[in-house]
Structure 1
Amino acid sequence: MSRYCLITGASSGLGRELAIQYADQGWQVIAVARSVNALNELHNQHKSIHALPLDLTDTASFAAAVEQLSQQIPALDLVILNAGSCDYVDAMDLPLDIFDRTMALNFQAQVASVKLLLPLLQKSEDATLAIVSSLAHLFPFTKAQAYGASKAALSYFTDSLRVDLTETAVAVCLIEPGFVDTPLTQKNDFKMPFLLQVGDAAARIRRGIDRRQQRIRFPKRLVWSLHLLNLLPYGLRCKVAAGMRQS
């Protein structure tokens, strides 16, 4: 019997790599992204990857697509909500449009995705909902007010959601990676400690999901570094964060 996996943000980076790896493992993968050309290229390379071009912030179109999908497949066994964006901001002149856009995709669209896809997950006897957040929310990084806030909201939402889905057949997994070499991070003009290749990051996520881990955080060296920074007295922690901005 076929297993069905839906992955958002699948046109590039981590989402694309996850789609390929799950397809190679024999899954039927529904790849969701806005880029029609990139999704069609994926399908041409892997016939078990099925393109679903979609703007996740367009809830009405999203709902219509899910309704059509529910008539084509019996259930979703795995959903990986990976779509997201990162824009850095100037604190002296906060760009409200960037905050609106970041929260719309990184948080509100993820909530809508859960609402719309949960019924298909509940039709599976053993389903997993995996939501990709970030380690960024664990420490106050410069110019990351929009991105970090959106990921903090998403991580809290995921943990709280797990509480209320405990008695269901849907396992909830929170994924919080560090820096991964993708088109998104390749725009960064600062040093990214413990940068991982996208294939390695995707493999770590797959292993964690297979093990039914509730939270997948990596790389461990960055996780522990951030934990140690958060153990500092609050005033000193603020000075360290400011020092990083100046370095």
Structure 2
Amino acid sequence: MTSTCLITGASSGIGRELALHYAANGWIVYAVARSADKLRELEQKPGIRALPLDLTDNSALQRIAQQLSDDGVVLDLLLLNAGTCEYVDANNLDLAAFERTFAINFHAVVAATKYFMPLLKASLAPQLAIVSSMAHFFPFTRSEAYGASKAAVSYFVDSLRVDLADSGISISLIEPGFVDTPLTQKNDFSMPFLVPVTQAASRIYTGLAQGKSRIRFPRRLSLLLKLLSLLPYDLRNSVARRMKQ
């Protein structure tokens, strides 16, 4: 039997590579993103079905989920990957930037979980996977909006796993470091242990196939941030300030 997945943020970056990876391995892939043009291009690949959708539009999200349900679609994997990043100036906090960042990085994740998760229930081995980030492990400069949104996502997933422990749904939290995507290519600072996007997609695919509850990579960055988190609080803050300079 052919497996089916739905991937958000599929028009570029990690989401696009994951859509291609799953399709190449024989899955039916519902590719979700706002960019209809990029999805039409992606849909030329066998096994990929485009679903243009603004994930911040709850009414549209509910309508698409209901349409899939009416069509008898059963998801074996729901992979919520869509996200954005905006850096802010602490001396003049841009409230709109916080609203935009949380709208797609957190609120859309919660809404997509609510409306798409019922499509997993008829699967024999249902999986829910949500992409967060290592960014919330350490107080990086100008990351007040992005890091806070990813901290919210990680906590949401961990809490959800507790409450759905008896549901039969396997839940995975994905926390990558820096991945070479159009989003990170806008960064004007050094990104240690940068991972090629194809490699990132392969690691996520393998980790989910193995049923891992938490997928973190690259390991070197994860270990470094863990070590930094063990420092006394004031010393950790001092290190963070030095890294800003």
What TM-score, normalized by structure 2, do the two folds share? 0.99
Aligned to 1:179: 178
Change (3 A) 1:73 1:27: farther
C-alpha distance in 2 between matches for 1:10 and 1:201: 14
Aligned to 2:76: 77
Return 5+ residue gaps in structure 2 as ranges: none
8 Å contact kept, 2:127–2:171: yes
CA shift digits 1:143-193 (9 cap, x unpaired): 000000000000000000001111112110000000000000000000000
Secondary structure of the 1:19 match is helix
CA shift digits 1:107-157 (9 cap, x unpaired): 000000000011111121211000000000000000000000000000000
C-alpha distance in 1 between matches for 2:236 and 2:161: 31
Secondary structure of the 1:93 match is coil
Return 5+ residue gaps in structure 1 as ranges: none
Aligned to 1:48: 47
Aligned to 1:191: 190
Aligned to 2:242: 243
Q: Indicate the RMSD between aligned Cα atoms, in angstroms.
A: 0.7
Secondary structure of the 1:51 match is strand
8 Å contact kept, 2:78–2:117: no
C-alpha distance in 1 between matches for 2:225 and 2:95: 28
TM superposition shift of 1:73: 3.6
1:1-247 equivalences in 2 (<5 Å) = 1-44=1-44, 46-246=45-245
8 Å contact kept, 1:17–1:199: yes
C-alpha distance in 1 between matches for 2:103 and 2:171: 22
C-alpha distance in 2 between matches for 1:151 and 1:136: 7
CA shift digits 1:37-75 (9 cap, x unpaired): 10000011x121000000000000110011111122441
Letter in 2 for 1:34: R
Greater CA drift, 52-61 or 230-239: 230-239
C-alpha distance in 2 between matches for 1:64 and 1:22: 25
C-alpha distance in 2 between matches for 1:227 and 1:80: 26
8 Å contact kept, 2:138–2:225: yes
- The share of aligned pairs that are identical, in percent, is 59
Secondary structure of the 2:139 match is coil
C-alpha distance in 2 between matches for 1:151 and 1:121: 24
C-alpha distance in 2 between matches for 1:232 and 1:194: 22
C-alpha distance in 2 between matches for 1:149 and 1:73: 37
Greater CA drift, 69-78 or 228-237: 69-78
What TM-score, normalized by structure 1, do the two folds share? 0.98
Secondary structure of the 1:63 match is helix
8 Å contact kept, 1:74–1:123: no
**Count of matched residue positions in the alignment of Structure 1 and Structure 2:** 245
8 Å contact kept, 1:11–1:33: yes
